[in-house]
Amino acid sequence: MFDVVIKDGEVYSGDKQPKILNIGIIKDRVKYIGKDNISGHKVINAKGYIVSPGFIDVHTHSDLSFNIDPDADSKLIQGVTFELMGNCGMSFCAPLSPNTKPQLQDRMDRQGIDIEIKWNDFNGWLDEISNKIPSINVAAQIGHGSLRAYVMGMEARNPSPDEIFKMQEEIRRSIDQGVLGFSTGLWYAPGSYSHTEEIVQLAKIASEYNLLYSSHIRSESDDACGLFPAHAEAIEIARRTNVRVQISHVKSVGPKFWGRGIELIEGIERARKEGLDVAGDQYPYHWSSTPISGCMFPRWSLEGGRDKTLERLKDADIRENIKSETSNFINRFHGAEGCVLADYAAQSSLEGLNLYEISKKFKTTPEEAVMRLYEKSEGSFVLHSMEEEDVHEIAKYKNICVASDGNSLRNTGPLSSGKPHPRSYGTNTRYLENFVKEKKLVKLSDAIYRMTTLPAKRIGLKNRGEILKDYFADINIFKLKDIKENATYKNPHKYSKGMKYVFVNGKLSVQDGQKLSGRYGRVIRSLVE
C-alpha cells in the first residue's frame, strides 16, 4: 500500500516521450512507476492531466527569502519545488566577515527587515533556513563577489597569491558545509575588478568537486569588454578548468546587440562541439532587473563600497563623469521611460514610476535623478533591456534552462513590498502559457525538460528532476490550458494559476492552485539528497 497514488496521468520525465502511467509514493520517494493497478491511502485521478517533475529554478536570489518568511511561496504556487541561490557572485548571507557583515545588515535595514545575524558561515546560515522549514527545497552557491569582499574588501586590484589561497580554502570549507556551486557576477563590483586568471584559479576548485560554475558574464552589452568577448571568457574558463559552465540569463542588451542573440547560442554550440560542458539559462521576459548601482553606475565609481561612491558624488567633476556614463546606460534600456523603479524603501511612493517621471518630480535630468536616488538609498530598477526577437530565439535552444533570476516572495507580509519584476511570481507559468501554448516557440515536452531534467543535470542532482523509482517525489499535476500568469509589471505580487497539485518531497503542498498548510521543503547540501 502506497501513501499516495497518482493514476493515469500523462507523465513527462527526462527527454522521453510522455506516457500514461501510475505513480506510487512512499514517504518522500517515488517507489513505483508503471501501468500496474496500484492502491494507496490517497489516490489522485490524474486522467487528462500532465504529470511532471517539480520545476527546478537554477538561478535565483532568494538568499534571504526563507529567513524572512519560510512560506515564501511565489515559486511553489507555479510549480517550482527546488531553487538554487547565490547567483551572480552574490552569496550575501555567507561567508561573513567584518568586510561583508555590514553589507548584509545594510541590505536588511533598507528593506525594514529585523533578523538577528547569528551566523558567519554557510553552516550557520543554512541551519537557520532548515530550522524554519522552507516551503520548497533550496540549495546554495558561494558567490565570487561575496567571497572576494570577504577576503579583500571592495579593492580594485589583483589578489595576492595568499589571498587567492584564502579564497580557494574558503570555497573548500563552504563546499564541506553544503554549498553546491560557485558563481560569479563579473559585471558587478567587486567581481568586475578581477581578471580571468583569478576566476580560473577559483573555478578549479568547483571543477575538482564536480560542481557547477554559474556566471553572470563580464558584459551583456557594449562596455569596454563587450558582450561577445565576455561570453568567450566564460567558455575559456570551461576550457582551462574543465568545469561545468552555466552562462546566466543569456541575453543581448542595448541597441548595438539587439537582434544578435542567436550568436550567443552559436557560441555555446561551438563550445559543446569542442567537448566543453557549457549551457545557459534564461527568464522569458524582455525586461530585466538589477540594483541602482548595478545598472546605472560605472564600475570605477563603486570601488571601495557605497561610502566611497557617495564621497565621489560630492565632487562636481567626478559627479559629471559618472552622469555621462549613466546616460549611456539609460540609452541601453530604451531611454528613461524604460527604467522603472521597482524597490525603493527610502521613498516607496516612487516605486512603479519610470525614470522620466521621477526626473520630472525632481525637476532635473534623468541622470541627476539617478544620483539623487542613490544618495538617499540603494534600490532597484526594472529595465527594458532586451528585444523580444532575441528572447524568442534564445528560448528555442535545447540547452537553455528556464530560470527566474528572481526571488521566492509572498503577496502578504514583508516579502510583498515594492514593485519587483513579475518573474518571481510568473517565470515558469509565463514560459508555458506564452512560449508553449500561445507562441508555440517550444514543444511542451521540451519546455518541461528545460524546467526539470536539464537544470537538475546542470546542478548535478542525482535524485531529482525526473519521475523515476527512488527519486524524490517532487511532482506537478496540471493542464496546459489552465496555466495563467497573473503577475504584471504594474501588479507583480499576484500568484500564478493552473497547478492542480504540487508535491514537495512526497507531501501535497498545493491543491487547486492554493498553498496548503504545512511546509515540506529542505535545505539540500548534497547532490544526492
What is the tens place of the pLDDT at every residue in 235-275?
999 999 999 999 999 999 999 999 999 999 999 999 999 99
77/14 Cα distance (integer angstroms):
22
Please check whether residues 261 and 316 belong to one and the same domain: no
User: What stretch of H or E contains 358?
Assistant: helix 355-362
Is residue 412 within 8 A of residue 292, CB to CB? The reply is no
Q: What are 350's three cell numbers?
A: 516612487
What pLDDT is stored for residue 201 in this prediction?
98
- For residues 77 and 415, what is the distance between their CA atoms, to the nearest angstrom? 15
Report pLDDT for 358: 98
Q: What angle do CA 282, 513, 461 make, to 5 degrees?
A: 45
Residue 218 and residue 282 in one domain? yes
- 194 occurs within a structural domain: yes
Quote the CA–CA distance of 393 and 298 in Å, as a whole number: 30
pLDDT tens-digit series, residues 351-364? 999 999 999 999 99
**Which of 355, 383, 411 is at the close of a domain?**
383
| d(C-alpha 456, C-alpha 209), whole Å | 17
Same-domain pairing of 278 and 331: no
Q: Report whether pLDDT(111) > 80.
A: no
Asked if residue 329 and residue 232 are part of one domain, the reply reads no
Q: What residues are paired with 207 via a beta bridge?
A: none
Question: Do 172 and 300 reside in the same domain of the chain?
Answer: no
Q: Which domain holds residue 345?
A: 293-383
Query: Would the CA dihedral through 502, 22, 452, 288 be positive or negative?
Result: negative
Residues 411, 345 share a domain: no
Assigned domain for 198 exists: yes
Q: Which pLDDT belongs to residue 518? A: 96
User: Is residue 480 in a domain?
Assistant: no
Domain boundary, last residue among 400, 428, 459: 459
| 279 shares its domain with 367 | no
pLDDT at 229 exceeding the cut of 90: yes
Q: Are residues 349 and 372 located together in one domain of the fold?
A: yes
What pLDDT score was predicted for residue 108?
85
- Is residue 264 located within the same domain as residue 320? no
Q: What amino acid is encoded at 261 in this protein?
A: G
Residue 24 lies in a domain: no
Question: From the DSSP assignment, how many helices (H) and strands (E) are in the chain?
Answer: 17, 21
Number of Cβ within a 10 Å radius of residue 162 = 9
Alpha helices, H only, 133-283: 144-152, 161-176, 196-208, 227-241, 261-273
Among 325, 350, 383, give the residue marking a domain's end: 383
Phi, psi values for residue 478, rounded to 5°: -160, 165
Q: Where are the alpha helices (DSSP H) in 386-512?
A: 388-395, 423-430, 444-451, 453-459
**pLDDT score, position 113:** 82
Residue 112, pLDDT above cutoff 80: no
User: Which residue type, as a one-letter code, is found at position 71?
Assistant: D
At residue 100, the pLDDT reads: 92
CB 41 within 8 A of CB 439: no
Contact between 509 and 71 (Cβ < 8 Å): no
Residue pair 276/235 in contact by the 8 Å Cβ criterion: yes
**Do 82 and 154 fall into the same domain?**
yes
Q: What is the pLDDT of residues 158-182, one digit of tens each?
A: 999 999 999 999 999 999 999 999 9
- Distance (Å, whole) CA 104 – CA 93: 7
C-alpha closest to that of 446 among 497, 395, 482: 395
Residue at 10 is within a domain: no
The answer to whether residue 471 is domain-embedded is no
491 within domain boundaries: no
Three cell numbers written together for 104: 548584509
pLDDT at 115: 87
Q: Are residues 324 and 205 in the same domain?
A: no
Q: List the CATH number of the domain containing 430.
A: 3.20.20.140
* The total number of structural domains that make up the chain: 2
Provide the percentage of residues in the chain whose pLDDT is more than 70: 100
Q: What is the pLDDT of residues 298-346, one digit of tens each?
A: 999 999 999 999 999 999 999 999 999 999 999 999 999 999 999 998 9
- The phi-psi region of residue 506 (left if phi > 0; otherwise alpha if psi is between -120 and 50; otherwise beta) is left
Q: Judge whether 439 lies within some domain.
A: yes
Give the burial class of 324: count Cβ atoms within 10 A of its Cβ; 0-12 exposed, 13-18 middle, 19 or more buried.
exposed
Residues 117-141 pLDDT 10s: 999 999 999 999 999 999 999 999 9
Is the domain of 271 the same as that of 316?
no
Q: What contacts 526, CB < 8 A, 6 or more positions away? A: 178, 180
For residue 139, which of 147, 129, 131 has the smallest C-alpha distance? 129
Do the beta carbons of residue 381 and residue 295 sit within 8 Å?
A: yes
CB atoms within 10 A of CB 176: 12
In the predicted model, is pLDDT for residue 116 greater than 90?
no
